[in-house]
Structure 1
Amino acid sequence: MATNEDEDASYVDYEAFLDPSFSPSSFANSLVLATNNPNDTPLDLSTPLSKVLFDSQEVDSHIDLLTTRSAIPLLTYTKEQTDASGRIISEVDNQVKSLNESYKQLEKEVIQKHAEADEVRQVAARLWQTLKLGRSVGRCLQLGRQLEIQHTEITNSGTSTTGSGNRKEDHRALVRCAHTLLSLREVLDKKAPGEEGHGLDRVNAIKSLQDSVITPIERSVRNTSDQIVREFSIGSASGTSTFAQSEEAKARIISAAVTLYLLSPVSSTKPDKWTPQLLLQSLEVYLRNALQSSIASLARSLATLPSLDRTLAEASARCQNIIALEIILATTNAPTHPLLPVHKHAASDKSNLLQPLLTYLETGSLASYFWRTMASSLATRVQEIVNRGGVSARTLKTNRNSVGEAIRECVIRGSQPPSTITATKGKALKGDTEKSGSWDREVAVMVSAVVGNLGR
């Protein structure tokens, strides 16, 4: 009996079915090929199907036999597992109840208090943000009021007059206004979260401050500084200013230059590429006006020689003013700009207000720039006079030697600093021979621009 059971049990190829690489499709294919000729059409599938069904019945019978024989052990095992699960569930229920009670206690003692504390934290954080914003607004309004007072110092002093009837403003207030404007700019430009100026653009008081105070006063300060630069003069063709007048003009131009230097924008360029744009533009306009006036008047005088001496004297006086300006800028250190990085400050401390202008104009001297630029324009004007012909051209050609000598004297005279500014430069005046020696190229360029274009 046992032998038959073993044979029945071994009839099914369990190893084939338990093989990890078992494939139902491959097994079915092998059964079909084993019971059929591959060339037969159609194939007989009843035999392999019967084989599979028979194996299934064998497995089912074997399962039934095993469960019948082992019913009591299985039921006993199941009862033991069920009893064990019941005991576990009972213990777990007790633990869950204890855990729920602990959670309720924790929720009462910690979570609710944490929620209340978090509300307090949020309120405190918003109060702190409001306080910071209020401080920033207060600082801006205080600086705005300070700016109004400083600007009033300029305009009020501008209403007084000197004995000669000229308006006299407190030019030092321009620098004070510039520093206040930079302080305001430092706050208002820091708009990133966490920075001092964050949220100020949404405050109506700040918008009104910018529209009604900051912008108009900054425009006024810039215009006043530009006007001081445009009107800078140490002397004229009729004579040189007194020492006191020269010192006043020097102080005014320094205040205006420093103001324009400080107010030059810094946000649009990299720190290492920064230049004082407002100062350079104002100085360039001053030089251009001096050149245009000199070129226009000298072109007219070359056509009417009787007025040439006076015109040359005016041109030399303009160049002397430019040299005086060059000396003043060279001896004035560039101020520390609070909105530039520290390394830029260090570079500025070793620089002066002249160096950026020379770099911008690509020249080594303002006087040389003045004469060479004038010469390049005069050559065309002289050629026009010659091409028109007439009395003016003949007179100019006839007096070419005296005209050339007058131009030479004009360049030499105009290339010397005014007597009231010489001490500032730190050098004593040299003899006429030494003076003319350093300006031979400018003399040659100017004389050639006029005499060299007259032909024969």
Structure 2
Amino acid sequence: MATTTTRADPSNATSTYINIDSLTSDDFSPYTHANNLVLAANNPSDPTIDLTTPLSRVLFDLQEIDSHIHTLTSRSALDILTYTATQNSAAQRILNRIEEERARLLASYERLEKEVLVRHRNAVIAKITAQRSWEVLRLGRGVQRIVNLARQFETILAEAGLGGGTRVGREDHGALVRATRSVLGFRDVITGKDGGELARINLVKTLRGRVFEDGEARILDFARRIVREFSMSTLSSGPGGGVSTTSGPTYREVEDSRARFTSAVHILYLLSPAPRIDGEKMTKKDFEPEYLLRALQGYLQTAITSSSASIGRALGQLPTLDRVLLETSARCQSIVALEVLLRGISPPDHPSLQLEAPDDKRTINDGGEEGLDEDRDEITVPSTHVPPDNFLSLLLGALDTASLPSYFWRSLASSLSLRVQEILTRGGVSARTLRSQRDTVRQEVRECVLRGSKLPKVVLVGDPKATSTTRDEQQVDNWDREAAVMVGSVVSLLGR
């Protein structure tokens, strides 16, 4: 050290050559102090370093400091003890006050727990109980609604006479349409918000399988049978299925047949699947009545297939061709009647589809501005509105054709070419006769197309407006193109 003695404290009897202020300063560095001790005991230019002397000096300083501390504590023991006792007494008083506040706080917490926490726990239990009771009540109401629908559905089926040994064709088609509404009501409940929970209930499972699904299958079978068996005889016969005893069908018989067919297509339309998209009901423009389109397409395909097979056999046996062509023209007349009936039937309101808001109208005055003005001429311009569709437009859109008779003749013509080719390939008497009689075959096929494309008068019974309109249409309509297609499919191969 550069200086080993400092000024002495008058009250201190020990040696005070140690620089206490330097050792207790805030910027004291043990590294710097040790370096100073080493430099004071050694020559910086000497290659060897003696650490014994600095170490002895440090130990001596420590001993002096320890002695100094012992002297100070011995001389001030009474003051230290008095100070410590005073601090202890103050701490004890503070501790007592804290204990009192702690006891008071614990008492307040216990009272708060009784008044708030216990009541809160009881309130939570009551809330959970109420929620569960409400869920049970809601599910109970759903089950009650399903039971009421099932009871109503069974009653309607019994009144309609569907199954149960009743004679075929005697079912009450109006009651079956009401039963269809019950099925849709059940579907709406099952596909609703609580449908998943309701479907787990045993009673609902039983009603779903034994009542609704079984009844729906029987109603669909009835509707498909009505569409499948549709023909001119159904329009010419009474509700019992027998032929009318008079010279022609009465207005009541024709209307009853129309009503039965209308109910059948309504049932197929309503029962067609209409799944929800992201929990929302499907829009009417996106809905495709699968059951209805399948039944009508199946009817057309059956007529085309049976006609193709009959004409194919008759071309090999020309004496039977006249009778077969009469049957084919009768089938086409049934298709024409089907087209007329479908054009007059509009889709009913479907509860499983979204309701479309009516289009708004806007008023435009003579100045080109929108609004109302009593002094100006006003023109009410309706916004873009799609006219209400009918079942015919749905079917024509699915078949991608302009008319059902045209679709029938063109589909039939596409299948007859192969059958004529088979007859010519086999050769023999049938092929030679067919070639020799090609002019007669051409004339008969043409007459078959023109005869089958005419609208039967029985469809127009009791409808003067339709009668006058259809009479004008029959004079204007030209089926020569379809006749040419049919004749070409049969005769074009005979000239080779």
Q: Where on the TM-score scale, by shorter chain, does this alignment land: which range?
A: 0.7 to 0.9
Deviation at 1:353, TM superposition (A): 1.9
Does residue 266 (structure 1) correspond to residue 264 (structure 2)? The answer is no
The alpha-carbon distance between structure 1 residues 197 and 80, as it changes in their structure 2 partners (threshold 3 A), is: farther
Deviation at 1:296, TM superposition (A): 0.7
Residue 288 of structure 1 aligns with which residue?
301
Provide TM-score, normalisation by structure 2: 0.74
Q: Distance in 1 between matches of 2:491 and 2:269?
A: 41
Residue 98 of structure 2: which of 92, 111, 116 is its match? Answer: 92
Deviation at 1:198, TM superposition (A): 4.7
Residue 390 of structure 1 aligns with which residue?
428
Residue 154 of structure 2 aligns with which residue?
148
The runs of 5 or more residues in structure 1 that have no matched partner are 19-23
Q: 1:309, 1:406 within 8 Å by CA — same for their partners in 2?
A: yes
Deviation at 1:263, TM superposition (A): 0.9
Q: Distance in 2 between matches of 1:201 and 1:323?
A: 45
Q: Distance in 2 between matches of 1:59 and 1:275?
A: 108
Deviation at 1:434, TM superposition (A): 2.5
Q: Distance in 2 between matches of 1:60 and 1:281?
A: 112
Q: 2:410, 2:486 within 8 Å by CA — same for their partners in 1?
A: yes
Q: Distance in 2 between matches of 1:257 and 1:66?
A: 119
- SS of residue matched to 1:354: helix
The alpha-carbon distance between structure 1 residues 11 and 339, as it changes in their structure 2 partners (threshold 3 A), is: same
Amino acid at match of 2:220: R
Deviation at 1:138, TM superposition (A): 1.1
The alpha-carbon distance between structure 1 residues 409 and 79, as it changes in their structure 2 partners (threshold 3 A), is: farther
Q: Distance in 1 between matches of 2:254 and 2:150?
A: 34
- SS of residue matched to 1:417: coil
Q: 1:157, 1:170 within 8 Å by CA — same for their partners in 2?
A: no
C-alpha offsets along residues 211-264 of structure 1, whole Å, 9 cap, x if unaligned?
A: 22111111111111111110111249x998554433222211211111111111
Q: Distance in 2 between matches of 1:173 and 1:326?
A: 25
Q: Distance in 1 between matches of 2:356 and 2:411?
A: 36
Residue 171 of structure 2: which of 166, 169, 180 is its match? Answer: 169
Residue 195 of structure 2 aligns with which residue?
197
Does residue 339 (structure 1) correspond to residue 352 (structure 2)? The answer is yes
Residue 255 of structure 1 aligns with which residue?
263
Does residue 451 (structure 1) correspond to residue 449 (structure 2)? The answer is no
* Equivalent residue runs for 1:104-253 within 5 Å: 104-155=110-161, 167-190=169-192, 195-235=193-233, 243-253=251-261
Q: 2:345, 2:391 within 8 Å by CA — same for their partners in 1?
A: yes
Q: 1:379, 1:450 within 8 Å by CA — same for their partners in 2?
A: yes
- SS of residue matched to 1:445: helix
Amino acid at match of 1:134: G
Does residue 2 (structure 1) correspond to residue 7 (structure 2)? The answer is yes
Amino acid at match of 1:105: R
Residue 21 of structure 1 aligns with which residue?
none
Q: Distance in 1 between matches of 2:210 and 2:78?
A: 101
Deviation at 1:6, TM superposition (A): 7.0
The runs of 5 or more residues in structure 2 that have no matched partner are 1-5, 9-15, 237-246, 360-384
- In the comparison of the two structures, how many residue pairs are matched? 431
Q: Distance in 1 between matches of 2:413 and 2:53?
A: 116
Bigger Rg, structure 1 or 2: 2
The alpha-carbon distance between structure 1 residues 281 and 54, as it changes in their structure 2 partners (threshold 3 A), is: farther
Give the alignment's Cα RMSD to 1 decimal: 4.2
The alpha-carbon distance between structure 1 residues 227 and 156, as it changes in their structure 2 partners (threshold 3 A), is: closer
Q: 2:161, 2:170 within 8 Å by CA — same for their partners in 1?
A: no
Residue 318 of structure 2 aligns with which residue?
305
The alpha-carbon distance between structure 1 residues 379 and 246, as it changes in their structure 2 partners (threshold 3 A), is: farther
- SS of residue matched to 1:405: helix
Q: Distance in 2 between matches of 1:47 and 1:319?
A: 131
Q: 1:334, 1:349 within 8 Å by CA — same for their partners in 2?
A: no
Residue 410 of structure 2: which of 372, 379, 385 is its match? Answer: 372
Deviation at 1:398, TM superposition (A): 1.7
Q: 2:347, 2:389 within 8 Å by CA — same for their partners in 1?
A: yes
Amino acid at match of 2:175: A
Residue 367 of structure 2 aligns with which residue?
none
Amino acid at match of 2:476: E
The alpha-carbon distance between structure 1 residues 282 and 83, as it changes in their structure 2 partners (threshold 3 A), is: farther
- SS of residue matched to 1:283: helix
Q: Distance in 1 between matches of 2:256 and 2:96?
A: 102
Residue 419 of structure 1 aligns with which residue?
457
- SS of residue matched to 1:367: helix
Residue 434 of structure 1 aligns with which residue?
476
Q: Distance in 2 between matches of 1:106 and 1:148?
A: 61
The alpha-carbon distance between structure 1 residues 73 and 308, as it changes in their structure 2 partners (threshold 3 A), is: farther
Deviation at 1:330, TM superposition (A): 2.1
Residue 326 of structure 1: which of 328, 334, 339 is its match? Answer: 339
Q: Distance in 1 between matches of 2:50 and 2:207?
A: 98
Amino acid at match of 2:287: W
Deviation at 1:143, TM superposition (A): 0.5
Specify which structure has the higher proportion of helix.
1
- SS of residue matched to 2:390: coil
Q: Distance in 2 between matches of 1:342 and 1:257?
A: 21
Q: 1:333, 1:349 within 8 Å by CA — same for their partners in 2?
A: no
Deviates more, 1:166-175 or 1:217-226: 166-175
Deviation at 1:142, TM superposition (A): 0.9
